[in-house]
Structure 1
Amino acid sequence: MVIGPDIYILDSGRNEILYYRLGPDGESLTSPDAQIVLRMGDTVGGVTVGMPIDLAWQPPIPGYDDKSSLLVLDDNNRIFRYNHQVDGASFLRFGDGSQWIKATQIETYLGRLYVADEGANQIYRYEAGNYSNPIAWFQAPTLVNLSNLAAMRIDGDIWLLYKDGKVVRYRSGEQLPFGLDNSIAPPAEGTDLWVGQDGDDAIYLVDRLLERILVFDKETGAYLEQFQAAESAPLHNLKAIFVDRAHNVQYILAGNNLFQERLPR
């Protein structure tokens, strides 16, 4: 995750959240050594941090919180908040967090927090600054299976990527017709998804098994392009992508390496 000059990485091997900072040129780090901002086993607000499994960025919420924060979901259905400049780490208390059976993904949009509960096959929406009264996003008779969910992204619609490479799009709780162009082999093992916004009309799919990033038109599903490394296996264990359209670059996390690449369009 890249927010301005700040880079946050979920290191699933060491179960840590790492922080780096970009230098003034936007292409190099101020230090090659990461700062550990949160790790499994830490005690925050009297609560022990479990295995970190997902990150989201919460911009300032007028009338509630004037600071941006990194949100970290662990495998115990707990969410922690981290502010690099002011507060450090804190535990985010929910009015009824116990209702989550197996939360696996979090995302924010327009100040709201969305929690994907794979165990309940439900996405819970929390209004800005209100973590007590969630709204179940899927309503009957909509049937949803969130098993093997790999990523969730929101641009007004909710986009779900499954580990088998399937992409599903929802609007107002209802599934929209959407399919990927079959002129190219679909993702063999989906691990991450990026959905363009503010004029970027593409979705980016991370395919770990075939070590590539596939790009499709997000309205039609038409295939646009793909990214693969020229040399041997530098994208082994491809994990995540972050697209910065403001500077026309993408960040690719593969194994223990973070790559920055200029986008061709």
Structure 2
Amino acid sequence: MTTEDTLYPATNLFDGKYATIGHSVQRNHPNGFNISIEFPSAYRISLIRVINRQNCCQERIIGFSVYIVNKIGSEVNCGSFTEAKSEYEFRREGVGDKVEIRKEVDVKMVNLGEVEIYGVLAAQCDNLDPNWNKVTPEPALPAPHGIKITLSCPADYTNKGGDKATCQDGTVVPTNQLPDCRAKCTIVNSNLDVIVADSELPAEDETEISYSCPRNQAKKGNDVKAGEVQGSFKNLY
């Protein structure tokens, strides 16, 4: 709890005893109140059961909501307390390393008997998408849920896509764009009878290259452009 009563500490919410309670201090909380339960690792949570105080004051929880919070910056709203009763169940699935029971506005006092959270450890990321040709992750896989990953290409390739991702419950998910490793051009295609200066190579994909023709041959066209993933050249006319 953000501010707890020392006689009824937040640890009472996890002692397996419905008769004991966790209680806020006897004063107003104009900026709201947050009961936060943190885990050492991320879990895929399927059920949150909340036991209200059994002997009185059950209406104090009305207006609070339950969230599964993920350290990568997202959260799942599992639902709200809309009436006073002895027990509540929230069955909204989500992955996170924290559960919060909070109300954003004025709170006078709040008390609960127990919070029970059910789920399984979130899956780690073991592999990249097989369609991400030539992409290397840093740190190396496997990686735990929530870890931020940098995506890179080999030295003779250029990444024309995104280079940031996050491990999300077993899947490496790009932050913005998919990675796209494209080979640099290192030699001129054998079917192109042109001369390219050594200083022009290697050339990144989509780069326009100046070229010359062999002696006694006229130049037709303007330049050569580095090609697709294969690292080949194609003429521009």
- Range of TM-score over shorter length: under 0.3
TM-score, normalised relative to structure 1: 0.21
TM-score, normalised relative to structure 2: 0.23
Q: Rg bigger for which structure? A: 2
Q: Which one has more relative contact order, counting CA pairs under 8 Å at least 6 apart?
A: 2
Name the structure with the higher strand share.
Answer: 1
